[in-house]
Chains A and B, each alone.
Chain A
Amino acid sequence: MGASESTESLPQRDSAASRLLLAGVLGAVVALTLGIYGRAHDPASDLTITLGFTNTITMKVWLATIALLFAVVQLMSALWLYGRLPLGAAPSWLGTFHRVSGRLAFLVSLPVAYHCLYQLGFQHSSTRVLVHSILGCAFYGAFAAKIVIVRSRGLPSFALPIAGGLTFALLVGVWLVSGLWFINNSGFPSP
């Protein structure tokens, strides 16, 4: 029985390791591709995207902050799903609610990321800017890896919380060195 279990679990472990490796490689490829694009691309000098806001920077600060709020919702709902909040059993709709908040966070982040990549590219004019560039690319890499992990079955139980936590941490980091930095310097812009 023991020998049978061990012979059956070996391919499963190999498969899980392969999928984890795939997720990591995909995430790295996405992050590196964005970084290389940002360095190689000739930045636009005057790219205006407002989406109804007063100007581009206002749009970016608002959408980045909204994405951060959705990410906090993601974190709290994930903690509830994992039974880490003293709120009792998670309701049946919480899983779907968690996914919806994640999709909304991704959606509102896209115009911000697009403007950053197309208008500014990958820059290193200061430590803050370099950190922002690295974290921004890494966030979408982590997001891609998390999508692979969340869609995979039979992975170790630590994989999804680590991927989700890393994605959340990177988004918070990106916001701290851009959105919060701008708000500290110029105040929160009115929409």
Chain B
Amino acid sequence: MIFRLLDRGLTLVCIAAAVVAVVALFAGPSLIGAKKSTPAAAAKSGTPADPGAAVFASAGCGGCHTLKAAGASGAIGPNLDQLRPDAATVSAIVRSGGGPMPAFAGRLSDAQITAVSAYVASVAGR
């Protein structure tokens, strides 16, 4: 009896959750109370146009790393504001990956890696 009630309730919850998930995919994460920041959003908010910042945003670096200047608060990888890596270190890690971080050499061009490395090195910890 308990299982049957649970079953019926869960059926409705599953349908509702699936609908909300699909709508949120198109309407945006604010629908479910999550936050998002994209290069376009940064441009609208008046953030200076830095190609490295754009790469940082578009490559999803902020999903894993904290970098205050980019408005990123990811907590999966190292906190870049605390680490304050130089451009060469960032470039090497971005190209080849490290630990759980994947290599981005196939996804980003040399120019993009150079730009994002310079950007991170210039703003980390500030």
Instruction: Name, among B60, B62, B72, B103, the residue most crowded by chain A CB atoms within 10 Å (CB to CB).
Output: B60
B43 within 8 A of A: no
Tally A residues with Cβ within 8 Å of B: 38
Q: Nearest A residue to B59 by beta-carbon distance?
A: A45
Chain B: which residue is nearest A120 at the CB level?
B60
Given A45-B70, A118-B36, output 19 extra A-B contacts at Cβ < 8 Å: A42-B38, A44-B29, A45-B56, A46-B36, A46-B62, A47-B63, A54-B75, A57-B75, A96-B6, A100-B3, A100-B7, A107-B17, A114-B24, A118-B24, A120-B60, A120-B63, A125-B104, A125-B107, A182-B100
Of chain B, the residue at the smallest CB distance from A92 is B3
In the assembled complex, 8 residue pairs joining A and B whose CB atoms fall closer than 8 Å, in A order, are A44-B60, A48-B34, A54-B75, A104-B10, A118-B36, A119-B60, A120-B63, A123-B107
Report the count of interface residues on B (CB-CB < 8 A).
45
Does A106 have its Cβ within 8 Å of any Cβ on chain B? yes
Measured between C-beta atoms, what is the minimum distance from A80 to chain B in Å? 15
Specify the main secondary structure of chain A where it touches its partner.
helix
Whether the pair A114, B38 counts as a contact (CB closer than 8 A) is no
**Does any Cβ of B come within 8 Å of A81's Cβ?**
no
Task: Looking at the assembled complex, report how far the CB atom of A130 sits from the nearest CB atom of chain B, in whole angstroms.
Answer: 11
Q: Does B37 contact A (CB under 8 A)?
A: yes
Given A100-B3, A107-B14 in contact, is the A125-B102 Cβ separation under 8 Å? yes
Interface hub of B56, B63, B72 (most chain A Cβ within 10 A): B63
**Contact between A48 and B76 (Cβ–Cβ < 8 Å)?**
no
In the complex, are the beta carbons of B102 and A45 less than 8 A apart? Answer: no
Contact flags (1/0) for A52-64 with B, using CB distance below 8 Å? 0011110000000
Given contacts A55-B76, A125-B103, A185-B99, contact A47 B29 (CB under 8 A): yes
B48 contacts chain A at the CB level, 8 A cutoff: no
Report the separation of the CA atoms of residues A48 and B104 in the bound assembly, to the nearest whole angstrom: 22
State how many angstroms separate the Cβ of A103 from the closest Cβ of chain B.
4
| 0/1 string, A135-174, CB within 8 A of B gives 1 | 0000000000000000000000000000000000000000
